[in-house]
Amino acid sequence: MDHTAIQSESRIAHFPIMFFAVVMGFGGISIAYFKAHEVLGIPLLVFEGLRALTSLLFLVIFSLYTIKFLINQAGVKKEFSHPIRINFFAAFSIALLLLAIIWKSVPSLGGSLFWLGAGVHTFLTFYTVSFWINNNFEITHSNPAWFIPIVGNLIVPVAGDGMASATFLGYYFAIGIFFWVVLFTVVFYRIIFHNQLPQKFMPTLFIFIAPPAVGFLAYLKVGGGFDLLAQFLLNLALFFAFLLLFMYKNFMKLQFFISWWAFTFPMAALTIALLVAYEKSHEAVYLHLGELFLLFATLLVAGVSVKTLRHIYKREICVIEE
């Protein structure tokens, strides 16, 4: 085996599970453009192109992580027992659920992706909560990425609309909302009263936007209307978005990490929520905010993509990282 082949195998052996957040980012922006097609009249071709790209990225990332599992099972096991990285395994199941949404027009494919994604996410929910209970954690281990495996249950009702009963989907809505409140309290306490988040986890603050935004969408899918609770969830998502934009200086000089992808999905989720809110209420403010956040989410996905490709080219990703 030549030196180049050895280097390539070594990089795949350290391929991080966090890469599935790339699919979450592209899946979110794909759905945002589909909704923008319905509300703003943006050509459907934009969504179809993003759908194809998202699907290709999923296949590539899934293939690379499968190879990693085959050649470095110890590394996968280490990630699966890591107090922070374990949460990113749910990015895989969420990616499946997002793919189910963007392929809903092909019922056999969309349905298969939904049931597979829901099944994997259910397992990861139970595994992660039991992992938390059975291990000793420090408060500094907590960060917004803890929302991914548990609050990610809120995506199941959004993806499963028309594929499963309201009773089935309501189960996941309840889990997601309950643990959002619990984990938000823990993580916010950690952020305020303990040391600041390490620089690499600063982008995960954007995850605060996702639970209320996706919760808003899920609430509508399980039978809720555009009522006070729906507006409560949407306004909380807007508050955290405005707060983080107000804190923009905290993010301007961050060193690049793969965690930058945490910027993308929450902004796409908020964009979708705003466009849906406009459909339900016909309030112009939601339309204009939806247009603004669509532009912002698009620039974020494009910018983080360029940064990621640049660091892959410079071989600064897929290296040993503590």
Amino acid letter, residue 87: N
User: What's the pLDDT score for residue 142?
Assistant: 86
What's residue 5's pLDDT?
47
Q: Which residues of 275-291 are buried (b: 16+ CB within 10 A; e: fewer)?
A: bbbbbbeeeeebbebbb
**Radius of gyration of the chain, Cα coordinates, nearest whole angstrom:** 19
User: What is the number of alpha carbons within 13 Å of residue 239 lying toward its C-beta?
Assistant: 8
| Phi and psi, residue 248, nearest 5° | -55, -30
Cα 212 from Cα 228, distance rounded (Å): 13
The CA–CA distances, whole Å, from 304 to 16, 27, 216, 258 equal 17, 14, 26, 9
pLDDT of residue 8: 53
What pLDDT is attached to residue 315? Answer: 75
Q: Looking at residue 253, what DSSP letter applies? A: T
Say what the pLDDT of residue 260 is.
Answer: 87
Estimate to the nearest angstrom the gap between the alpha carbon of 60 and the chain centroid. 18
Length reported for the chain: 322
CB 24 within 8 A of CB 98: yes
Give me 75's structure tokens: 């590394």
- Rounded to 5 degrees, φ, ψ at 161 are -60, 120
- Residues of the chain where predicted confidence (pLDDT) is lower than 70: 1-10, 318-322
DSSP state of 162: T
pLDDT confidence of residue 299: 96
Mind giving me the DSSP string for 1-45? --HHHHHHHHHHHT--GGGHHHHHHHHHHHHHHHHHHHHH---HH
- ∠ CA 138-142-145, rounded to 5°: 155
Cβ atoms within 10 Å, residue 225: 10
Helix count and strand count (H, E) for the chain? 14, 0
